[in-house]
Amino acid sequence: ASLLGSSTVPKLAVEFRDGWFEAERADTFFWRWTGGPAEFVLTNRHDGPVPVRMSFVLNAISKRNVVLAREDGRVLWGAEVSSKHSEAADIRDVSLAPGENRFFLRSDLPPSGADNDTRLLDMMVRNLVIEAGPDGHHMTIFSSRRR
């Protein structure tokens, strides 16, 4: 049986919940803005835990401190970013328990406006890739680079 399952019954799934705007694209770059704190859920339909790795590049509408945390509040990654300063995250050895695993991106400031956009924006996540399985044998379960 595949670690990923089938296309009709995926064993691992990603869902963007509260706080996200629709995905945007320019050439080969894909990104999503948040309008404040944002949640995504990784669902593991296996009987046991599955290791995952997440990588992305993050910046923000203005200078702010951001964190990626689990539902229990445990911080997996944090950085200071701005509109002109991005940080790359490469988070390894995240264990997904069976069922829903909730993750939250948060910054220390409220969303704000941009000159050429009517939305209130907070953080911009680009090139998000989530891979499952042990190092050297992982498979991509989500990539914002693919459409």
Strands 87-96 and 50-60, sheet pairing: antiparallel
Average pLDDT, the chain: 88
pLDDT tens per residue, range 63-73 = 999 999 999 99
User: Average pLDDT in the 131-141 region?
Assistant: 71
What was the pLDDT predicted at 118? 93
User: Average pLDDT in the 22-37 region?
Assistant: 91
pTM listed for this prediction: 0.87
What token pair was written down for 129? 């890739």
Judge whether 21 and 124 are in contact, CB under 8 Å: no
Q: How confident is the model at residue 133 (pLDDT cuts 50, 70, 90)?
A: confident
